[in-house]
């Protein structure tokens, strides 16, 4: 991908996103919409995957048909909201390997602290897609990408549902080599780090917590 930031303006994505932003949308519908939108975003984030051909026989004749080339995928979910994007993507790409990054914010330093990290082996041989619905301050996203790079990943993309300009700038400064794919670039963060206009707390909306 050439662009550092790609906003997926497809009408289906934008329509579903509006339904997700609406505070009256119930949890079950929100979760279903996230699953659907994640598949449309997955389509965009993977559209440059390398192809090769494989000889097969149709019922009528032999043909050299396109298949994905060697480099396989790793999907890395930033807990917990990342799992909402992960589920839909795995339906589309069932052979992808999956990893998880758990981070919490230290209330004194305000820096992300790792509490869980488990990723597939040989990340250097995979396209690695780090997923988190909300790119807000970018602190946890940048830290998660640091960790997957330390684990060997070299070809990385970041997939989110909503991005704030502050988070995009943070990611561009820390990881200019990691393209970001999102459904929308919102206006700004509020003073407690929520995206405006946003959709609220993605994890709470998805899991029905408060």
Q: Name the binding residues for 5-phospho-alpha-D-ribose 1-diphosphate.
A: 80, 105, 132-140, 201
State in angstroms the smallest separation of the CB of 124 from ligand URA: 30
Distance CA 61, CA 79 (A): 48
On the CB side of 201, CA atoms within 13 Å amount to: 8
> Hey, which residues between 71 and 110 contact ligand URA (CB under 6 A)?
81
Question: Quick check: is 87 catalytic?
Answer: no
Tell whether residue 202 is a contact of ligand URA (CB under 6 A): yes
- Could you tell me which stretch among 28-36, 83-91, 102-110, 196-204 binds ligand URA (CB under 6 A)? 196-204
Question: Quick check: is 18 catalytic?
Answer: no
Phi, psi of 128 (to 5 degrees): -110, 120
84 close to 42: Cβ distance less than 8 angstroms: no
Q: Which residue has the tokens 């993605």?
A: 202
Give the DSSP H or E segment for 158: strand 155-159
- Could you tell me which stretch among 4-12, 143-151, 174-182, 192-200 binds ligand URA (CB under 6 A)? 192-200
- Could you tell me which stretch among 10-18, 89-97, 102-110, 200-208 binds ligand URA (CB under 6 A)? 200-208
Closest to 75 measured CA to CA, from 127, 149, 133: 127
Number of residues interacting with ligand URA: please give it, by CB under 6 A.
10
The two three-digit tokens of residue 94, written as one number: 């069932």
State in angstroms the smallest separation of the CB of 195 from ligand URA: 4
Q: Which is nearer to ligand URA, 117 or 194 (CB)?
A: 194
Q: Which is nearer to ligand URA, 3 or 107 (CB)?
A: 107
For residue 190, cis peptide bond before it (omega within 30 degrees of 0):
no
Sheet bearing 134-135, strands edge to edge: 134-135, 162-163, 184-185
The two three-digit tokens of residue 81, written as one number: 């909201």
Question: Quick check: is 109 catalytic?
Answer: yes
State in angstroms the smallest separation of the CB of 210 from ligand URA: 12
Please report, as ranges, the residues that interact with ligand URA according to CB under 6 A.
81, 134, 136, 193-195, 198, 201-203
Residues involved in catalysis: 105, 109, 201, 204
């Amino acid at each position: 991908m050439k662009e550092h930031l790609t906003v997926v303006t497809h009408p289906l994505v934008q329509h579903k996103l509006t339904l997700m932003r609406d505070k009256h949308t119930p949890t079950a519908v929100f979760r279903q919409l996230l699953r659907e939108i994640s598949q449309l975003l997955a389509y965009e984030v993977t559209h440059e995957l390398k192809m090769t051909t494989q000889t097969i026989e149709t019922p009528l004749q032999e043909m050299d048909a396109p298949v994905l080339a060697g480099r396989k995928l790793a999907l890395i979910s930033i807990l917990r909201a990342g799992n909402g994007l992960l589920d839909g993507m795995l339906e589309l790409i069932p052979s992808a390997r999956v990893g998880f990054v758990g981070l919490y914010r230290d209330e004194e330093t305000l820096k992300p602290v790792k509490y869980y990290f488990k990723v597939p082996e040989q990340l250097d041989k995979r396209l690695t897609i780090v997923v988190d619905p909300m790119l807000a301050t970018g602190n946890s996203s940048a830290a998660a990408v640091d960790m997957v790079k330390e684990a060997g990943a070299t070809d990385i993309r970041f997939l989110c549902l909503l991005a704030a300009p502050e988070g995009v700038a943070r990611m561009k400064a820390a990881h200019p080599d990691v393209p970001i794919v999102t459904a929308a670039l919102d206006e700004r963060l509020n003073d407690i780090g929520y995206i405006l206009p946003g959709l609220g707390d993605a994890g709470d909306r998805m899991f029905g917590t408060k």
